[in-house]
């Protein structure tokens, strides 16, 4: 039996190193009302870009008119490494460029099959797309109570990306069930009580938001919870039974922790960051996702970590 284009496309994605691949038809987004209500509650905090692109996120055909289908992919960044002051996803190289390059390679292959005029666009966490909804529709998993997409074979320690194509492709069956059951470990474990309900997170209380996205000083009420968290947080993923059982070993060399971050306590790393100037910061974090917080943000986080240590 001759393989279909859809089968070959997904096989190419896996061959390039992606861990999951599925196809979804673009169109109205089922969870957009939930997203709009979340914005109305102010749970997005200072992330104003989410508000600006809200209308585009209502329908996946809007960001790039003419696109009909999306190949949605996941790239695992390993959940078996020990926890530490930096979230696992940010310890190595920035994932955006790596995933864009692989998605662009997929587009080149698709053009070799469908013609050079084929239009396509790669998205990796930077466009007005509700990626988890699209990934669920492509059959990659369900949205857990901690708001993370969970796959029953690999857990949730992975990045999502999508290649939009001007092709009417046969979609995969959407993931229609959720397998969290009565478990509330992620909700119970959050040290700042960031979850107002299952699948509803107040970002303004989330350690990842406070240490990465926010540009303001971190409120004193959260300092104790940040004692061991200098950049990001993995707690709600670490306690998830699907990760306890199925999280993967790190396989992508680009995501291995850079030597500067390896085996350091939050306090030791905080002291080093506070001693940095702009030049040493750029040298230490060249190509790192941690540059999103800028030196000013990292030093704010470092002060918070050391303040929590003093008060403990």
55, 125, 168, 188: the active-site residue: 125
The reply to whether 168 belongs to the active site is: no
Structure token digits, residue 265: 């306590």
- Which pLDDT belongs to residue 50? 94
For tokens 């960051």, what's the residue? 273
For tokens 């943000």, what's the residue? 297
Q: For the residues 100-115, what does the mean pLDDT come to?
A: 98
Q: What percent of the chain has pLDDT over 70?
A: 100
**DSSP tag of 155:** B
Rg of the chain over all Cα atoms, to the nearest angstrom: 20
pTM of the model: 0.96
What separation in angstroms does the CA of 58 have from each of 61, 131, 159, 288? Answer: 9, 12, 22, 31
Which strand ranges, in their side-by-side order, compose the sheet holding 20-25?
A: 20-25, 69-76, 158-165, 120-123
- Which pLDDT belongs to residue 310? 86
148-174 pLDDT, tens digit each: 999 999 999 999 999 999 999 999 999
């Amino acid at each position: 039996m001759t393989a279909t284009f859809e089968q070959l496309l997904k096989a190419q994605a896996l061959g390039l190193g992606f861990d999951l691949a599925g196809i979804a038809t673009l169109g109205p987004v089922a969870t957009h009302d939930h997203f709009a209500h979340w914005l109305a509650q102010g749970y997005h905090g200072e992330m104003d870009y989410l508000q600006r692109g809200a209308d585009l996120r209502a329908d996946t055909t809007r960001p790039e008119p003419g696109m009909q289908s999306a190949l949605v992919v996941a790239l695992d960044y390993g959940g078996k490494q020990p926890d530490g002051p930096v979230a696992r996803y940010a310890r190595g190289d920035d994932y955006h460029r790596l995933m864009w390059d692989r998605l662009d390679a997929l587009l080149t292959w698709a053009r070799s099959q469908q013609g050079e005029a084929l239009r396509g666009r790669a998205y990796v966490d930077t466009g007005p797309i509700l990626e988890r909804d699209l990934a669920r529709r492509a059959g990659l998993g369900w949205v857990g109570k901690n708001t993370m997409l969970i796959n029953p074979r690999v857990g949730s320690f992975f990045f999502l990306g999508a290649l939009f194509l001007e092709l009417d492709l046969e979609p995969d069956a959407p993931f229609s069930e959720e397998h969290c059951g009565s478990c509330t470990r992620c909700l119970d474990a959050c040290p700042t009580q960031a979850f107002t309900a299952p699948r509803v997170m107040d970002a303004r209380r989330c350690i990842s938001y406070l240490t990465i996205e926010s540009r303001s000083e971190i409120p004193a009420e959260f300092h104790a919870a940040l004692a061991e968290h200098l950049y990001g947080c993995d707690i709600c993923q670490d306690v998830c039974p699907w990760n306890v059982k199925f999280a993967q070993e790190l396989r992508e060399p680009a995501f291995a922790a850079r030597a500067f971050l390896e085996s350091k306590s939050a306090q030791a790393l905080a002291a080093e960051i506070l001693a940095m100037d702009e030049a040493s910061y750029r040298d230490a974090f060249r190509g790192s996702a941690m540059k999103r917080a800028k030196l000013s943000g990292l030093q704010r986080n470092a002060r918070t970590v050391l303040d929590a240590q003093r008060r403990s």
